[in-house]
Amino acid sequence: QELLVQSGAEVKKPGASVKVSCRASGYTFSGNYIHWVRQAPGQGLEWMGWLNPNSNGGSSAQKFQGRVTMTSDTSISTAYLELTRLTSDDTAVYFCARVRFGSRSPYDGFDLWGQGTTVTVSA
Amino acid sequence: DIQMTQSPSTLSASVGDRVTITCRASQSMSNWLAWYQQKPGKAPKLLIYRASSLQTGVPSRFSGSGSGTEFTLTISSLQSDDFATYYCQQYHRDSTFGQGTRLEIK
C-alpha cells in the first residue's frame, strides 16, 4: 500500500522554525516529485513548493522564498519541509503530496497525500 | 501568479442532482488543471487531472472539461458521499488552488 506518513503536531513560538517530515512507503520514493501544501484553519489550500527527491532541487512559491527549505533523504524515503521565522499566520495543517504516479513533470495532479501535520504558532 | 476563481463558493443540491462547478484562470493555461475533493479533517483526493482525465478509481459520475481560462467539474448524479468541498488547481506556472466550493445538502 502506497503511503505518505507525516510527523506529529508541533507547537512553536513566533520567530521559531519548524521542520515537518513526510515518509514514503509502498513505492519508489525517488521516482516522483513531492509538493507541500498548507491549509490554515477554515481556509483553502495554499501551494508552497515542490522537491525532486533525487536531486533536492525544486522551487517554492514566491511568498515563501527565503523562509522555506525543502529537502529529502532517499536512504529513508523521507522528505522534509522547514519553515523559519514563524508567525501566527503560519498556523495551519501542512500536507505533503506526490505528483501523480507515472508523470515525468514536477507539475501534475497530486495522487497521494500525507495525513497532514498541524503546526500551531502561539506565544 | 495565475489566480484561480471558483464559482459558486457554496452550492446546495440534492441527491440525484447534476451539479457543475466552474473555475476561471487569470490567464490562459492550456489544460494544466486538476480537481480535488476534500472532506473535513482529511487530505484532498484527486478526481481529475489535465482538465478532463479521470483519476484511477474515481467514479465515472465525475467529469471535467475546459481549456484556456475556463474549466468545469460536473457531477452527473449526486450521491450522499459527494457532499464535500471541491478545489481546482492550476499547474501551468508553479501552482495555485481556487478558493474552494462547498457542496452542501439542500
Please give the full DSSP string across B53-83, using - where no structure is assigned. Answer: EEPTT--TTEEEEEETTEEEEEESS--GGG-
pLDDT value for A76: 97
Distance from CA of A86 to the nearest CA of B (A): 22
Judged by a CB distance cut-off of 8 A, whether residue B50 touches chain A is: yes
State whether A110 and B32 contact (CB < 8 Å). no
Q: How far apart are CA A115 and CA A29, in angstroms?
A: 17
**Grid cell of B101 as nine digits:** 466550493
Cβ separation A111–B89 shorter than 8 A? no
| A10-12 and B4-7 beta bridge pairing | unpaired
The pLDDT value given to residue B79: 97
Quick check: A109 and B48 CB within 8 A? yes
Contacts of A120 (CB under 8 A, 6+ apart): A9, A10, A11, A12, A91
Q: Do A107 and B98 touch (CB under 8 A)?
A: no
Contact A95, A110 (CB under 8 A): no
- Give the C-alpha separation, A56 to B50, whole Å: 26
Chain A interface mutation, best of B32, B46, B92, highest count of A Cβ atoms under 10 Å = B46
Cβ–Cβ below 8 Å for B34 and A115 = no
Which grid coordinates belong to A21? 517530515
Computed from CA positions of residues B51, A105, B101, B37, in that sequence, does the dihedral angle turn out positive or negative?
Answer: positive
- In this prediction, residue A42 carries a pLDDT of 96
Where would I find the beta strands (DSSP E) of A13-91? 18-25, 34-39, 45-51, 58-60, 68-73, 78-83
Task: Classify residue B26 by its DSSP letter.
Answer: S
State residue A57's pLDDT score. 92
What integer pLDDT is reported at residue B6 of this predicted model? Answer: 98
Q: Does A35 touch chain B (CB under 8 A)?
A: yes
Q: What is the mean pLDDT of residues B8-30?
A: 96
Residue A102: predicted pLDDT: 85
Contact A92, A98 (CB under 8 A): no
pLDDT tens, per residue, chain A with 123 residues: 999 999 999 999 999 999 999 999 999 999 899 999 999 999 999 999 999 999 989 999 999 999 999 999 999 999 999 999 999 999 999 999 999 988 889 999 999 999 999 999 999
Query: Is B100 within 8 Å of chain A by CB?
Result: yes
State whether A107 and B46 contact (CB < 8 Å): no
Instruction: Find residues 85-114 of chain A whose CB sits inside 8 Å of chain B.
Output: 95, 97, 100, 107-111, 113-114
pLDDT digits (tens, 9 = 90+) for B54-104: 999 999 999 999 999 999 999 999 999 999 999 999 999 899 999 999 999
